[in-house]
Amino acid sequence: MSWNWEPRKLFSRRLVAPLDPLLLILLFLLSVFGLGLLYSATNGNADAVLRQGIFTAIGFVLMFAVAHLPLRDIKIMAFFAALIGFGLLLLTLAFGVELNGSQRWLPVLPGIVLQPSELMKTILPFVLAVYLGAAVAPGAMMSVGQTLIGSALICTAALLVILQPDLGTAVMLLVSGAAAMLLGGLRRYWVFGSAALVLVSPWLIWPFLAEYQRQRVLTFLNPGDDPLGAGWNISQSLIAIGSGGIEGKGYLQGTQSHLDFVPESHTDFIFSVLAEEGGLISCLVLMVLFAAVLWRTLALLDGFRARAHRIFAAAFVVTFILQGMINIAMACALLPVVGLPLPLISQGGSGKIAALMGFGLIMAMSYHRHRYRFLDNGA
Amino acid sequence: MSRFGEERESNERFSRRLNYVLWMLVILTGVLIGRLIYLQVHAVKTYRTLSYENRIYTRQLSPERGDLYDRHGEVLATNRLDYSVSVVPELIEDREALLAWLDDVLAGSGYEREAFLKRLRASRIPYSSVEIAAGFGLEAVARIAEGRYRFRGIKIGARSLRHYPQGEIAAHVIGYLSTPDAEDLRRHESDAVLYRHINRIGRTGLEAQHEAVLVGRAGHETVEVDVRGNAVRQLKVQSPQPGGDVVTSLDLGMMRAAHRAMRGRRGAVVALDVATGAVRVLLSSPAFDPGALNSLNYQRWTESRDKPLFNRALQAQYPPGSVIKPVVALSGLRQGVLNWEDVVHDRGVYTPKRGNRIYRDWQENGHGETDLFKAIYRSCDVYFWSYAERIGVESLGVSLGEFGLGRSLGLGDTPGLIPSPQWRKVSGRAPWMPGDLLNLIIGQGDLLASPLQLAYMTAVLASSDGQVPLPSFEADAPPGRAPGLNDDGTLQTGLDAPEQAGVGLGGAPGLNDDETLQTGLDTPEQALWFAGYTQADIDNVRRALLRVTAADGTAPRASWGHRFAIAGKTGTAQVVTLPQWDDEGNPLKKSDVELSEEQQDHALFIGYAPAEAPEVAVVAVVENGGSGGRVASEVVRDVVVSYLRAEQRRRTRSAVADQGDEASGGVQ
């Protein structure tokens, strides 16, 4: 009898080849970092950590799968991605589960809900990148028609999310869409025009905000008005961060979060827990990890030939980093609290899976970078 | 090749724009890091303090106030737990179910749904408790504890409330607690924190007198709290030291008898132990219910005509009337002005040599042939008037002072007043007239004494050697020490001066000096006051006082219904001065004048028993109780009898117990 089993075949070079080891390690480190922080933020709730761990595992499996996509029919992929993304958002508005006054979740299995707006953060730049890569001629700028089509896609997605309502995610969708358009060849006057629009946007968004969201914005503008009411969250978060000092109070030793002074410490304010227990050093470590993800993605992107790939990778990773920075800025009272998770760290399955799938797509693009050199030129 | 050129141009634009975006990110990162450095390095101290204050909470632990007991160990004042139940509004899940449950378990225990809902709406601070109801019994607490698992955020609290199980029987003497004012806090400066926390201090009576013992020492604990204020962990604790219990000299059995006998009439009863000066009864009537003391009732009681908050036993001053006649007799005897043989013929009227006033005896037709003995037990005014000028105001004042009148006895009592010509002059009143002496000698006019002073006077009269320690609430000396030990007693009064008043028959020390204005006394004469009284005179006076309660005395009722020998003296305090003459110029008799209830004379009686070896001295004042002190003598009788019967039972019991001991000893 011949012993025919060979491990190398199971884990063959072809199977792991699309994965970028450096990016994989960085994402893995961030995920582990997040799980450890979540354990502290939930007061040692092992169930919550296990649940998040399962989501993380699913996310990595899906990233693995996505990294193996051949990308030959990228337009069809984008078409179906758009169909799924917008479809799920519409379904959410129709059948979503309401919690805390907003309807963001779609029940898929008993006990498991999906947050389509999080998936949209990956889908929207992908769809736009493919569209722009295909439609805009090399060296040309976007035409008025192309600009309007792109804007329509962005605004539709943002509107569907605002109606839930979920201001934070809608803003992130606008940011990711804007990044894709900017890199895809948006004409300069459009750039400045939309920048001006952003400046007046608060007055445009205001009527769509729920009462609690308006309250949050007002609290940010006048934090002293109601220190025991709506201003409570932000002042307790500041105390948590400030009292952490350089070295922090030690893992699981944060009094602010463990005695429930910091609200939403497992989602929007998880950074406060890190800052309190790990101090400035841990905050910088986290930022370095994020910066490394950005750096590695940009390094990969440098080798891409297809414009759609470049646009997607850049728009996606910029949005990813920006969301992390906005989250930290909110915890530090630099921005009004609108409710945005810290990517890959905060509790929540959809966001985590969507982000990992996005990076999986970037890996696939990197793997096939030589094959799809001129893909965007109407192949 | 153009295709590659266009491609390159496209790539360059992409890179340029991406670079802009990346620079933006770099700037934002710089802002964030700057912010973090500001918060975590520059302002770290501020935020550390804030976070520490957030979670560390030091709270005072109130000491349990000590109990007050009477001499037999019956409780006068203690503490009762008052329960309250509250809820954290943020934790209410099913409001309707909660309200329904509360209606069910708190039915009939003072819970008001509307008031609770109002408090709930008014609640502003997140996660703070809102009181549902308070002040209900243990039964409702049990029902709440049983069902509260179904709801979140229900808290049961308990606090200690002062409780006076005897109600109004001992209300005045125990006193009450109230909120400390700025003056209290200044006086108890070292305990100001404690008093601010417990927010009550002994205001009057024994509660005030024994404040230092009863209050105890505060403790404190430092706890780590969560955002709801729940203690998560105790970091440091110093237990409070409960206040000490105080056993007093009061006798609740006698207090009850006195309260019953007064029947709510205005007046006062004071009983003292003859040997030790210990206060057995200190009762003012009508009394208030100390459990119902609140601002509303306080005002009602203050405005009441009966003045239930006024402690008549200490604060009221009455003209003592004839109850001072034994002292007047002793004063005259000491000077040799009076003796037991001389007889005065009394036809009911006394006419002084000067002036046109006539003085009427309380008995319109007079007492006939009257010697000193009869003058005491029949309370003959004319007899004493006849000797008034020879006894003289000075020596009379000295004697009254020696028996404890005219000065405060150290229990916060009013000093009263012994009038004198000097006092009249100093205080700028009308000059002293001969008629004033005639009033003074029968205890009327300006002479004023509190019930406590009269009780002390009685105790001195009844004591074996004339030495009675000043009245105090000190509990009886522990068994083994002879009762009435002088030096013990003096120390126990808590007064600075070791001296005390008393009839010194065997060389007692001199009296203290007091305010001359109020006593009308000159101090130098007091040094030798005791020399004059003889044992024979004292014994005769006591025999006369025993005769008072006989069938032909002025207070026969004091002997009704029991077989104890009670000696005593009646007295009448005039409320209004009657006109001497009617409109036509005819002399008026007392029975001719119509008096309203409040113009009726006050009835007084002093008594002691057992007459042969006095143990207890009692005084009763019944305001507007009528002339002659009959109603007061009944009150004194009831108090004395309750004491003597209780003593009898106690002696019988201990005798039986002794026999039992002997019997069991015999078996061995």
B656's tokens: 């039986």
Residue B14 touches chain A, beta carbons under 8 Å: yes
Nearest CA in chain A to B125: A228
A372-375 long-range contacts (CB < 8 A, ≥24 apart) are A372/A71, A372/A74, A372/A305, A372/A306, A372/A309, A373/A305, A373/A306, A374/A305, A374/A306, A374/B7, A375/A71, A375/A74, A375/A133, A375/A306, A375/A308, A375/A309
Q: Which amino acid is at B579?
A: P
- Model confidence at B588, pLDDT cuts 50, 70, 90, reads low
Q: What is the mean pLDDT of residues B329-347?
A: 91
Burial of A171 (0-12, 13-18, 19+ CB in 10 A): buried
B576's tokens: 């209004």
- At residue B87, φ and ψ (nearest 5 deg) are -145, 145
Nearest CA in chain A to B15: A183
pLDDT at A305 over 50: yes
Residue A335 touches chain B, beta carbons under 8 Å: no
CA distance B534 to B340: 13
pLDDT at B30 over 90: yes
Who has greater pLDDT, B152 or B299? B299
Residue B142 touches chain A, beta carbons under 8 Å: no
pLDDT digits (tens, 9 = 90+) for B256-267: 999 999 998 999
User: Which of A15-19, A102-106, B14-18 holds the top average pLDDT?
Assistant: B14-18
Using the beta-carbon criterion (under 8 Å), do A287 and B33 form an inter-chain contact? yes
CA distance A43 to A55: 20
- Model confidence at A377, pLDDT cuts 50, 70, 90, reads very low
Using a CB-CB distance cutoff of 8 angstroms, which residues of chain A are in contact with residue B230?
none
Q: Which amino acid is at A153?
A: L
Using a CB-CB distance cutoff of 8 angstroms, which residues of chain A are in contact with residue B48?
242-243, 245
How many beta-carbon contacts under 8 Å exist across A and B?
137
Q: What is the mean pLDDT of residues A369-377?
A: 62
- Model confidence at B666, pLDDT cuts 50, 70, 90, reads very low
Tell me what pLDDT residue A97 has: 86
A198-205 long-range contacts (CB < 8 A, ≥24 apart) are A205/A162, A205/A167
Q: Which among A163, A157, A192, A162 has a CA at the least distance from the CA of A176? A: A157
Beta carbons of A306 and A133 less than 8 angstroms apart = yes
According to DSSP, residue B41 is labeled I
* Residue corresponding to tokens 């929540």: A348
Using a CB-CB distance cutoff of 8 angstroms, which residues of chain B are in contact with residue A321?
25
Tell me what pLDDT residue B641 has: 95
Across A283-297, B551-565, B587-601, least confident range: B587-601
Quote the strand ranges of B294-404, DSSP E: 344-346, 349-350, 359-360, 368-370
pLDDT at A133 over 80: yes
Residue B42 touches chain A, beta carbons under 8 Å: no
Using a CB-CB distance cutoff of 8 angstroms, which residues of chain A are in contact with residue B39?
238, 241-242, 275, 332
Nearest to B17 among A183, A256, A276 (CB): A183
Find the distance separating the first CA and the last CA of chain B, reported in whole Å. 136
Tallying the residues shown for chain A, one arrives at 379
Residue B228 touches chain A, beta carbons under 8 Å: yes
Q: What is the mean pLDDT of residues B422-434?
A: 88
How close B120 gets to chain A, by Cα (Å)? 16
Using a CB-CB distance cutoff of 8 angstroms, which residues of chain A are in contact with residue B13?
185
Using a CB-CB distance cutoff of 8 angstroms, which residues of chain B are in contact with residue A243?
44, 47-48, 50-52
Q: What is the mean pLDDT of residues B185-211?
A: 85
What is the interface pTM, i.e. ipTM, of the complex? 0.90
Nearest to B13 among A185, A238, A260 (CB): A185
- CB neighbour burial string for B60-99, b if at least 16 within 10 angstroms, e if fewer: eebbebbbbbbbeebebbbbeeebbbbbbbeebeeeeebb
Beta carbons of B47 and B119 less than 8 angstroms apart = no
Who has greater pLDDT, A5 or B78? B78
Tell me what pLDDT residue B499 has: 40
Beta carbons of A104 and A117 less than 8 angstroms apart = yes
Nearest CA in chain A to B50: A239
Q: Which among A78, A97, A92 has a CA at the least distance from the CA of A159? A: A92
* Residue corresponding to tokens 């000295």: B398
B339's tokens: 């003796």
pLDDT at B291 over 90: no
Using a CB-CB distance cutoff of 8 angstroms, which residues of chain B are in contact with residue A378?
none
Query: DSSP for A329-345?
Result: HHHTTSS-----PPTTT
pLDDT at B376 over 90: yes
Residue A29 touches chain B, beta carbons under 8 Å: no
- Please, which residues have CB within 8 angstroms of residue A83's CB and are 6 or more apart in sequence? none
Beta carbons of B264 and B285 less than 8 angstroms apart = yes
pLDDT digits (tens, 9 = 90+) for B480-520: 333 333 333 333 333 333 343 333 333 333 333 333 333 33
Using the beta-carbon criterion (under 8 Å), do A310 and B224 form an inter-chain contact? no
Who has greater pLDDT, A129 or B144? A129
Q: Which among B407, B400, B401, B408 has a CA at the least distance from the CA of B323? A: B400
Residue B25 touches chain A, beta carbons under 8 Å: yes
pLDDT at A361 over 90: yes
Please give the angle made by the CA atoms of A53, A59 and A65, to the nearest 5 degrees: 145
According to DSSP, residue B613 is labeled S
Using a CB-CB distance cutoff of 8 angstroms, which residues of chain A are in contact with residue B22?
298, 318
Who has greater pLDDT, B559 or A297? A297
Using the beta-carbon criterion (under 8 Å), do B44 and A246 form an inter-chain contact? yes
pLDDT at B622 over 80: yes
Using a CB-CB distance cutoff of 8 angstroms, which residues of chain B are in contact with residue A279?
40
Tell me what pLDDT residue B137 has: 73
Across A295-304, B160-169, B266-275, least confident range: B160-169
pLDDT digits (tens, 9 = 90+) for B429-443: 888 888 889 999 999
CA distance A274 to A33: 10
A319's tokens: 């949005």
CA distances (Å), A330 to each of A269, A287, B90, in order? 8, 15, 25
pLDDT at B377 over 90: yes
Q: Which among B215, B220, B217 has a CA at the least distance from the CA of B203? A: B215
CA distance A37 to A342: 12
Residue B3 touches chain A, beta carbons under 8 Å: yes
Tell me what pLDDT residue B237 has: 83
Nearest to A255 among B17, B40, B51 (CB): B51
Q: What is the mean pLDDT of residues B195-212?
A: 88
Residue B5 touches chain A, beta carbons under 8 Å: yes
Using a CB-CB distance cutoff of 8 angstroms, which residues of chain A are in contact with residue B12?
none
Beta carbons of B219 and B60 less than 8 angstroms apart = yes
Q: Edge to edge, what strands does the sheet with B602-609 contain?
A: B279-285, B267-273, B616-622, B602-609, B567-573
Report percent pLDDT > 90 for chain A: 55
